[in-house]
Amino acid sequence: MVRVMVSGACGKMGRSVLNAVQQDPQLELVGAVDLHAGSDIGDLIGIPKTGITVQADLVEAIVSAKPDVLVDFTKPSVVFSNACIALKHRVSPVIGTTGLSDEHKAEIKNLAEENNTAAFIAPNFAIGAILMMKMAKEAAKYMPHVEIIELHHDNKLDAPSGTALGTADMIREVRKSMQQGNPDEFEKVAGARGANVDGIHIHSVRLPGYVAHQEVIFGGLGQTLTIRHDSINRDSFMPGVVMACKKVKGLQGLVIGLENLLD
């Protein structure tokens, strides 16, 4: 049994994770942390009371519940400190919160190695999204003209999404650096061409009704190819989160990306 604690437990993803962990026979839910402390997690996810109360202080929660794994779905401003606390207590962070900087990832890697405790980060826990990224990388070898449109719910804090940046990075591995579009193009309104990552334009849509969606559009002579993935609800992320909880203890240092856990 893997002992799991959830940080951001009262949030949209946190509640889904509580449910998924509760239902998996190889995982044991031992604690939950959120700013909105005090509720029994049974009340949060609509099951009978469990005796596990959401706590406000992560250190106290870790010391009392002794988890093996801390699943984090909080906020970009909080996740780094949570990961550091977990690693210093030899608890493996499984991080879904997006928005970590490269510097923070490097520090998490160092801390994981120093404490001999693996850490795992997935910009996207949906297996279909990983396949979309892999297929985009393959397509970019033959169709290097590409732009990315990512669409998310309007409460999302960071833009572009971690998945869009991850997709651009994977495409950059196989595509020569180039600027997309007309070399003389100009924006009549600032931002019209979206974010520019090494010449790949990324457009971020934020609207109520969306969960997490992405299109990677390739253009060629007389043809376009669109690779699209849709997470239609938060259940789409749960098989990936459960897999990461089970596999993280067998990893070394910091591992980034669900593709690295697929057999």
Question: Hey, which residues are catalytic here?
Answer: 152, 156
Residue 80 engages ligand NAP in binding (rule: CB under 6 A): no
162 annotated as a binding-site residue: yes
**Interface mask toward ligand NAP for 157-186; x: CB under 6 A:** ------------------------------
Contact at 8 Å (CB) between 80 and 108?
A: yes
* Smallest separation, CB 154 to ligand NAP (Å): 11
- Work out which of 4, 5, 6, 11 binds ligand NAP, going by CB under 6 A: 11
Cα(60)–Cα(184) distance, rounded to whole angstroms?
58
Cα(132)–Cα(162) distance, rounded to whole angstroms?
14
34 annotated as a binding-site residue: yes
Helix, strand, or coil here: 257? Answer: coil
Range in contact with ligand NAP (rule: CB under 6 A) among 68-76, 141-149, 193-201, 245-253: 68-76
163 annotated as a binding-site residue: yes
Cα(225)–Cα(146) distance, rounded to whole angstroms?
9
For 110-121, b/e burial (b = at least 16 CB within 10 A) is: ebbeebebbbbb
Helix, strand, or coil here: 118? Answer: coil
- Work out which of 4, 5, 6, 7 binds ligand NAP, going by CB under 6 A: 7
Q: Which of residues 222-241 bind ligand NAP (CB under 6 A)?
A: 237
Range in contact with ligand NAP (rule: CB under 6 A) among 4-12, 22-30, 143-151, 176-184: 4-12
Residue 67 or 123: the one with the smaller Cβ distance to ligand NAP is 123
Helix, strand, or coil here: 116? Answer: coil
Contact at 8 Å (CB) between 36 and 44?
A: no
Whether the ω angle into residue 76 lies within 30 degrees of 0, i.e. cis, is no
65 annotated as a binding-site residue: no
Residue 123 or 160: the one with the smaller Cβ distance to ligand NAP is 123
130 Cβ contact list (under 8 Å, min separation 6): 124, 257, 258, 259, 262
- Tracing tokens 């005796």 back to the chain, one arrives at 51
* Smallest separation, CB 156 to ligand NAP (Å): 6
Contact at 8 Å (CB) between 200 and 179?
A: no
Residue 74 engages ligand NAP in binding (rule: CB under 6 A): yes
**Binding residues vs ligand NAP (CB under 6 A):** 7-8, 10-14, 33-36, 73-76, 78, 96-99, 122-125, 156, 212, 237
> Which residue ranges are tagged as binding site for NAD(+)?
8-13, 34, 96-98, 122-125
